Structure 1
Amino acid sequence: MMSFFMSKLDVKRLRLLVFQGAVVLFLMSGCVSRPDRLEYALEFAGKNRVELEKVFEHYKGDTMKYRAACFLIENMPRWYSYDGWQLDTLHALLERQLAGTLRESDKMWYGFDYRTLEKVYDARVITSDYLIRNIEMSFREWQERSWNRTLPFEDFCELILPYRIGNERLTEWRTLYRSYYGRLLDSLYTGSDVLEACKIINDELVRQGCRYCVDWNVPHHDADHLFHARIGYCRENSDLIQYAMRSCGIPVAADFMPYSPDYRYSHEWNVVRDTTGKYIQFGYDGIDPLRNNPQSDGRKKGKVFRYCFAMQKEREETSNAAGWNTGGMEGKYWKDVTSEYFGENEAVVELSANVNVPVGLAVFSTGGWKVIGEGIRKSGNRVCFRNIEPSIIYMPVTLDSNVHPAGYPFMLCRDGHVEEFVPDTVNQEKVVLSRKMALIPRVAAWGYSQFGARIEGDVNVDFGNPKLIAEIKDTIDYTFGIFESSCHVPVKYVRYVPPFGLTQIAELRMYDDSEMEREIRLTPVTHLPYIENVTDGNILSHFYRKTGTVSSPLVFELDRPARIVRVYYIPRTDDNYVWKGDVYELLYNDGVNGWKSLGTRTASDKNITFSAPKNALLWLRDKTKGKEEQVFIYRNNRQWFNSDFI
């Protein structure tokens, strides 16, 4: 009699037969996946393998959806969520911060590291029902949206199909986002231009906003929480865009630079695939998706990668050629798209010593050199860096336990030649320095965004008879501005009247003497989140508010009726100008010998002077305060940071 119970060996043999049948169908359908990767994913799933096999069984009669299932499952071992009760606490704290009700005791969570939490791998927990719903909804948007008629299956798989973005907890996000953004789109547009559709959704996302915040160390927010609590940095803004667009069948991706060459941190933004096959930047920084006149955020980038759901073949090839790859295993799921931004090019540089370890490409970010790409060794003692942004200062580095210079800093010029910055220690020059960090355009804009702002006073809080105290008529070309009051009578209240549309101010202080020794304390009367930042004495905190087409004054009460003599005003600032009284050290780069000091000095004015080798890469360090610093060269009697090169 045949037993109704199967041994473990029999189960394994049955699964092997099922898999072999799947492979046959898989190959017949033209699926480009490798059977070994698919089998690895099924083995990796462990007890959850049965759920993944249910998806194959469900789609065994539908070639395209079967291929889509193959795509998702073969790449699934890379994807996981972080989980733990701590994430619920962090979500609650983010909501408090968004509402302006964060308590001082809550800030103890600032130092929490989410990477200590448990990783929950998709392949071991995901259900067949979840995957099938995701595939069905993705296909519906791909097949029913007229702009997708020419979207290849391979691009559909990367730009619409994925059920997740990063390491967020999984949710049924497509239904939530489609119910809002899909209905909006359907009510406003029925055409076939993907850029028009993209702009409609993007305009709504801009209107809804996403509060910028970098205080918390959290994984990607889960899609449902992000829908209701829009707070975070560029990553959360990018995630919101992807969820909204993909739920409506708009093919989008996230591009990023590993480290900024002109500021600090990494940065992420979005691109939409046009029907022409070209990827167009949009979203962050108020950029519209434009076909004929594409916009740029103006940031220097160095290297640009695109987050992908699938492992990228060219990244494996680069890893084999270079002996390593940026981003480690996760970096193999990035696509190098630098050439889409800056064209194809290469820089071949000499190494200063015989190097037997992998070589990388680095840019300077706060604190030192940060690796952003791989170098391919050439004959002789040379290395080739392919597809990099021109007019950026780079460093070839070796990669062992630490990052070490392997040559001199260099720049790929627009005409294709490579310029090295080898210090001429015989010929020195006087350098007059005013900043330790580049004044990038978006930071400079903080100051001139407040042109036309007025500071007014009155004896009554309703400002029935306001008196002009000061007016911002010109660029504040330093951290702060000092104004002589034009009001010669005592007041009890002052108000900051911003220009129409935008308020961003760091500090406002009043004095009743010309020596600015007697400060008049201000207490906010206007009740708005973070208005206390204007009077907290911290020039790096600020108040930011968009007000559309109206001017919304900020009202403060003086601690006593007084005649104001001087106004100390600080627009939003990065505080990277040279400060009188701060101690500074200037260093120059000597290639493999590292950084060498040119001495320390105390600033006695708004700039500081040193003697430095000609043609040297320089680094000004504030030994008194601050973290943000960037390297530069000195030519034509001025500092040249990366952001200054065209």
Structure 2
Amino acid sequence: MKQTTVYILLLLLTACQSKDKLDMALEYAGDNRAELEKVLEHYQGDEMKYRAARFLIENMVGHSGHDSTAVQQFQAIYDKYVAISEKYNWNVATEWQKEIDRFWSENRYKVLHVSSQKDIRVVRADWLIREIDRSFKAWQENAYTRNAPFEDFCRYILPYRYAEGICIDNCRDVFYQRHAHIFNDTTRSISIVIDSLHQQYSDQLYCDMAAVDMPIYDAKTFEYIKRGVCDTKAWYNCLQLSALGMAVAIDFVPAWANRSGAHTWNSLIINGETYPFEPFNDWERWKYKQVYNNESFDRYWGRFRAAKIYRRTFEYYLEGPLADPKVNREDIPPLFLNPFMRDVSNEYFKTVDVNISLSRPIKKNIKYAYLCIYGNQGWIPVQWGKIRKNGKVLFKDMGKDIVYLPMFYQNGNLLPAGPAFLLDSNGQQIILQPEKEVKPITVSTYTSFLLPDEILKLEAMLKNACLCGDNDPEFSHPDTLVCLPRNQEAWGNEITINNPSQYRYLRLDLPADSIGLCEIAFYSPASDEPIQPTKIISTNLHSTNLKEDIRQIMDGYSATGWRGKANQKGFICWELPKSCSIAKIKYYPYIAPHFIRGKELSLQYWDNAWITAGTQRWEKGTLTFNDVPQGTIYRVRTEGTNDRIFTYKNGMIQWY
């Protein structure tokens, strides 16, 4: 972190303890103090606008952007980008990507050392007064937010800055002139109004394929080049919607807890409720409250789990290690050096406070521990907790169904502070650490991530398949116990069955002529063990892969599987050891083994560090590693991949 920014943060901290926030801001403004005082004097007779001006000035310290001359300086770069895009009719094809990347690699050096300027020292009085007046006007014209609390107005409508580095200009005046009064009718659904507005900007598309790090300093440039990442579109949307009096914010996950990467999106705040939406004009952009609730899974994108969701803010929040003068800045993870954010996790999912006792030695100068999740090939801090004298730490408002690791952070390095644990869906902690017992582990891939078309293929093979029961092997009077739902989780499904009758024979009737399964098991009431021995007695399906055997769907390994095809609708029949009730079934759709052919890969387990249990090269099929300690977390590492961690119990893989 730059020393100047650290200085500003320390100044903020000192000011909060010793002087009024406004006095501190005006003092830090230096030669620009007179301009800010003009604004305050201008609103002396208007209490609300005076408070708004004070809110902006008090929180201006720490914010910075580029001068508009920076955009002019790089206009030739943007012109070339557009020329190449027009050459390919704005299609992000492979050749477009190659040409953009080649051009950008030759010009990247030109933008490496662009100086920024501090808002508090450059904002002019007339500009700020115009911003405040227009914000109030748009707020009162907006039928959705005109009755919002003044605090919400200050947080979500008034701010002129929603991202650092962006130029201070008149873009919000332009947006107001284009679209004033579109939010004056609450009889229309807010999502419909937003979508109709953003449809006018549908040529702005997500692209992370080429020149991703090319800076975009203002809204006008983004409209010109029409391509960007979620971060860019999110601040653009905020400038646009806030200019129209809509309370809007940027929310983000610093890292997903069960897949690689992070994400940024927009949220509307109406009557105290958060309405998140995809920044780009996507056809399913309003489903985030369902997808990010840490309970469900999405039909197209699978399961999302978030340990934390934060909201970017204009006002600063000094808390935790950042507010502790006894903590060196080098001993704080980068995420928590940012005072312009606050935790909004409980607006998305049910959270739980996590109390743990640190088991590793605590050095005298370590005051905080950090709860981490596994991200892109490493551990990522997502929450802090102050270490108490007894070695215990409280981590507030954590997401469930996630594997965590407590760690210390010193001089930019993470050090384990205790064992990893699963915070299960009930909020209970399950310690994950190596046991003395060793067993083989069979794997078929290094990641749980699947593309939407792969998920839909899984769904097509199993949706509406029905499980029937009978005591006659010919199924003369079968009862339907359950039909599989449309949505299939790629890495395991469990369905409860409410039928007290007992059956000796089971049959899975397929809606189509093919099936793919990695594993299926049947359970009697009050038992966590599958009914055994259960044997397949008949099927009209034949294998589509000679290396696979139908018995692999019941071999006790979720990594192995079988695909079958019939000349007509398929079925599989089983015989149980005796007649019994079926209380639930568990099944895993078929996913073909996939690694990177010919590359060396290793199975690793966590024991305060990643320990290699074995190394192999993959050609086809599954891989088995012998003599692996049980009870901990694992990953399959190979060069050039973003692997995921998993647990392994009785042959079943559970991804995190």
**Cα distance 1:33–1:390, how it changes in 2: closer, same or farther (>3 A)?**
same
Residue 262 in structure 1 maps to residue 277 in structure 2: no
- Other-structure match for 2:394: 384
Deviation, 1:349, is: 2.2
CA separation in 2, counterparts of 1:106 and 1:450?
Answer: 43
Say whether the 8 Å CA contact 1:253–1:307 is kept in structure 2: yes
Worse overlay, 151-160 or 102-111: 102-111
Say whether the 8 Å CA contact 2:372–2:406 is kept in structure 1: yes
**Structure 1 residue identity aligned to 2:129:** I
Say whether the 8 Å CA contact 1:325–1:374 is kept in structure 2: no
Residue 62 in structure 1 maps to residue 46 in structure 2: yes
- Other-structure match for 2:372: 362
Say whether the 8 Å CA contact 1:280–1:290 is kept in structure 2: no
**Cα distance 1:317–1:398, how it changes in 2: closer, same or farther (>3 A)?**
closer
Deviation, 1:450, is: 12
CA separation in 2, counterparts of 1:410 and 1:87?
Answer: 49
**Structure 2 residue identity aligned to 1:170:** I
- Other-structure match for 1:172: 170
Which one of 632, 635, 644 corresponds to residue 646 of structure 2?
632
Matches within 5 A, 1:559-570: none
Which one of 74, 80, 99 corresponds to residue 58 of structure 2?
74
- Structure 1 counterpart SS, 2:251: strand
- Structure 2 counterpart SS, 1:375: strand
Say whether the 8 Å CA contact 2:422–2:431 is kept in structure 1: yes
CA separation in 1, counterparts of 2:380 and 2:453?
Answer: 22
**Structure 1 residue identity aligned to 2:143:** S
Which one of 332, 339, 345 corresponds to residue 338 of structure 1?
345
Worse overlay, 240-249 or 197-206: 197-206
- Other-structure match for 1:191: 186
CA separation in 1, counterparts of 2:241 and 2:370?
Answer: 35
CA separation in 2, counterparts of 1:417 and 1:333?
Answer: 32
Residue 413 in structure 1 maps to residue 424 in structure 2: yes
5+ long unaligned stretches in structure 1:
1-31, 452-474, 478-574
Deviation, 1:309, is: 0.2
CA separation in 2, counterparts of 1:282 and 1:122?
Answer: 29
CA separation in 2, counterparts of 1:576 and 1:58?
Answer: 69
Q: Under a length normalisation based on structure 2, what TM-score does the superposition of the two structures give?
A: 0.66
CA separation in 2, counterparts of 1:213 and 1:291?
Answer: 21
CA separation in 1, counterparts of 2:594 and 2:288?
Answer: 39
CA separation in 1, counterparts of 2:284 and 2:175?
Answer: 22
**Cα distance 1:204–1:73, how it changes in 2: closer, same or farther (>3 A)?**
same
Which one of 438, 445, 449 corresponds to residue 439 of structure 1?
449
Residue 589 in structure 1 maps to residue 584 in structure 2: no
State the Cα RMSD in Å.
3.5
Cα deviations across residues 271-292 of structure 1 (Å, max 9, x unaligned)? 11122x1112222454455899
- Structure 2 counterpart SS, 1:362: strand
Matches within 5 A, 1:293-312: 299-312=304-317
**Structure 1 residue identity aligned to 2:53:** A
**Cα distance 1:288–1:366, how it changes in 2: closer, same or farther (>3 A)?**
closer
- Structure 1 counterpart SS, 2:604: strand
- Other-structure match for 1:12: none
Residue 598 in structure 1 maps to residue 624 in structure 2: no
**Cα distance 1:339–1:221, how it changes in 2: closer, same or farther (>3 A)?**
same
Deviation, 1:200, is: 3.9
- Other-structure match for 1:217: 213
CA separation in 2, counterparts of 1:378 and 1:71?
Answer: 35
- Structure 2 counterpart SS, 1:147: coil
Identical aligned residues as a percent: 25
**Cα distance 1:391–1:190, how it changes in 2: closer, same or farther (>3 A)?**
same
- Other-structure match for 1:106: 103
**Structure 1 residue identity aligned to 2:228:** G
Worse overlay, 80-89 or 383-392: 80-89
Say whether the 8 Å CA contact 1:578–1:606 is kept in structure 2: no
Residue 348 in structure 1 maps to residue 355 in structure 2: yes
Say whether the 8 Å CA contact 2:234–2:250 is kept in structure 1: yes
**Cα distance 1:299–1:43, how it changes in 2: closer, same or farther (>3 A)?**
same
Say whether the 8 Å CA contact 2:320–2:386 is kept in structure 1: no
**Cα distance 1:120–1:386, how it changes in 2: closer, same or farther (>3 A)?**
same
Which one of 210, 231, 234 corresponds to residue 238 of structure 1?
234
- Other-structure match for 1:549: none
**Cα distance 1:440–1:208, how it changes in 2: closer, same or farther (>3 A)?**
same
**Cα distance 1:331–1:596, how it changes in 2: closer, same or farther (>3 A)?**
same
Deviation, 1:635, is: 3.0
CA separation in 1, counterparts of 2:175 and 2:116?
Answer: 26
5+ long unaligned stretches in structure 2:
1-15, 89-95, 462-487, 491-591
**Structure 1 residue identity aligned to 2:61:** P
- Other-structure match for 2:82: 95
Cα deviations across residues 373-429 of structure 1 (Å, max 9, x unaligned)? 1023245232221111101111111010211111111121122211111111x2122
Which one of 10, 30, 42 corresponds to residue 46 of structure 1?
30
Residue 132 in structure 1 maps to residue 132 in structure 2: no
- Structure 2 counterpart SS, 1:347: strand
Residue 577 in structure 1 maps to residue 587 in structure 2: no
**Cα distance 1:607–1:319, how it changes in 2: closer, same or farther (>3 A)?**
farther
Cα deviations across residues 601-630 of structure 1 (Å, max 9, x unaligned)? 11131432213221121121114xx23122
Deviation, 1:56, is: 1.1
- Structure 1 counterpart SS, 2:160: coil
**Cα distance 1:322–1:382, how it changes in 2: closer, same or farther (>3 A)?**
farther
Aligned pair count reads: 480
